[in-house]
Amino acid sequence: MKRYIILFLAIALTNFSCEVAQKKTKGIKVDSEAVELMEKIDAAGAYDVPDIELRTDEKYASMAKDVEPYRHVKPYKKYFLRQIEYTGSGRGIPEPENLDTVKIGFIGPIEPTVSVATGGSASHEIKMGVKMLQGCKLAIEHANAKGGYLKRNIPFELAIHNDNGLWGASGNEIIDMVYKDNCWAILGTIDGANSHIAIRVALKAEITMMNSGNTDPTFVETNIPWVFRCMSDDRQQTYLLADYMYKKLGLKRVGVIRSSSRYGRFGVREILDISRRFGSPVLIEMAYDMGLDDFSLHLDRLKRENLDAVVHWGNADDGARILNQMREMGMNQPFFACDRGLSDEFVKIAGKNAEGVVCAYPWNPTSESKRLKEFRKAFKERFNEEAETFAAHAYDGMNMLIWATQTAGLNKAKIRDIMAFRTKPWEGVTGDIILSAVMDDIGEVYLAKREKGKWNYYSRQELNIPDELPSETSEK
């Protein structure tokens, strides 16, 4: 009898707590953590900040001791270890009435610019931008199929803007999204410089920017409380790549060839720094203009250095042409590349030379996760194409924004807050997205090896990388 009473009480209690959660969120399914967080966020009002503990990291970006800058000296200050707060008055702004849709902004390179008409070339990132947009569209359509913005039963709407990359145009687009479209949050973009411009505007205009396609490490190194990234950056990916090259393979003589772009320039910063910190400074770094057919000038210089390996940071097509020309020149060194190297286009151009190539990668697209399988299926049905990395990350990023909007309501500051204060990893199609104190994804990254005509993905654990450098290469 006593057992039944306890059981009854437990069921009653569960029902009661569900009811509390439902009351707080007007019928939207949210977990108890989100309910508790929202109570504190709502209580802050226009003049205070939520009474919620700020995220604190022991190390920035989970950085290992042997890759810390100036690691033999204690720096006067270390940044990015404590979550930055939003202290403005935005939480006090009431929800507007009479809305037909809930707009979420999208900015990405999706169309050629006017410069094409005057002889310029289309952005090399359009292919990625289009995929990103498809991922976002699918997320919005899925949300609308489930009832849209549930508190008002109105649909979500994507406010789509092209990132044409000219003269800081991304800043103007963010202004339009905030002040003309009245968006509640924004996702984008890919180019590092344009992303930086966008987040500066977002900071002043007070709107959440989710990034799902820019791997520039400096993007989050700005202390802006409105910035999120749901994709592991070049810093995270390079930590794994460098450890594999130097600790596992014991390489010593490494050369770098990169695109003459912000992506290439900032992408290789970590490999340059880590190589030096590991006692094997990069012997040569060559930058090329994107879209070249002949890289002999650069490769001649690399060849003279008698390298153990070559690292490429740039787009897939350039990387494949570089690889082919290397092999033609008898340069048979291992070829390592950034995540952009891993694509069908790379394999198509590189052909059999692709075998053995190793790329850093922000996730494992061969994961057996149910979420990923469902996403792949839905994407294929919707666009009659395979989902790739930009689509998958955008789908995750957009879903995070939708979840935050559903949970927090139509208040930009609260949308930011609920994402910033959520402690649980986001269970995305790209894997678990774990945010650091600077709200950057520090989830697991992988190395992709081209083996027997397919890409195989290896985690740090699977690669069995030693903790230390081989003794003769380690820095004294």
Residue 132 Cβ vs another protein, minimum distance, rounded to whole Å:
22
Q: Which residue, among 207, 100, 149, 158, has the nearest Cα to 394 in the 3D structure?
A: 158
Q: Is the peptide bond before 101 cis (omega within 30 degrees of 0)?
A: no
> 157 has which bridge partners?
103
Residue 37 Cβ vs another protein, minimum distance, rounded to whole Å:
18
Interface pick for another protein out of 223, 296, 306, 423 (rule CB under 8 A):
223
The CA–CA distances, whole Å, from 200 to 142, 171, 175, 208 equal: 31, 8, 11, 11
Q: Which residues contact 386 (CB under 8 A, 6 or more apart)?
A: 376, 379, 380
Q: Is there binding between residue 149 and another protein (CB under 8 A)?
A: no
Q: Is there binding between residue 89 and another protein (CB under 8 A)?
A: yes
Closer residue to another protein (CB): 60 or 363: 60
Closer residue to another protein (CB): 200 or 301: 200
Interface pick for another protein out of 218, 260, 324, 456 (rule CB under 8 A):
218
Residue 46 Cβ vs another protein, minimum distance, rounded to whole Å:
6
Closer residue to another protein (CB): 82 or 146: 82
Q: Is there binding between residue 175 and another protein (CB under 8 A)?
A: yes
- The site that binds another protein (CB under 8 A) totals a number of residues, namely 41
Q: Which residues contact 109 (CB under 8 A, 6 or more apart)?
A: 123, 125, 126, 128, 129, 162, 163, 164, 165, 189, 190, 191
Closer residue to another protein (CB): 174 or 392: 174
Contact window for another protein (CB under 8 A) among 73-81, 183-191, 242-250, 360-368: 73-81
Q: Is there binding between residue 200 and another protein (CB under 8 A)?
A: yes
Are the CB atoms for 205 and 184 separated by under 8 Å? no
Residue 109 DSSP code: -
Q: Is there binding between residue 57 and another protein (CB under 8 A)?
A: no
Contact window for another protein (CB under 8 A) among 168-176, 297-305, 372-380, 414-422: 168-176
Q: Is there binding between residue 204 and another protein (CB under 8 A)?
A: yes
Are the CB atoms for 243 and 421 separated by under 8 Å? no
- The terminus-to-terminus CA distance of the chain in angstroms comes to 72
Q: Is there binding between residue 79 and another protein (CB under 8 A)?
A: yes
Q: Is there binding between residue 271 and another protein (CB under 8 A)?
A: no
The CA–CA distances, whole Å, from 381 to 137, 378, 386, 391 equal: 13, 5, 9, 14
Closer residue to another protein (CB): 118 or 332: 118
CA–chain centroid gap for 22, Å, is 32
Interface pick for another protein out of 30, 132, 201, 448 (rule CB under 8 A):
201
CA angle 445, 288, 188 (to 5 degrees): 45
**Residues within the interface to another protein (CB under 8 A):** 46-49, 60-61, 69-70, 73, 75-80, 84-85, 87-90, 92, 167-168, 171-172, 175-176, 179, 193, 196-197, 200-201, 204-205, 218, 221-224
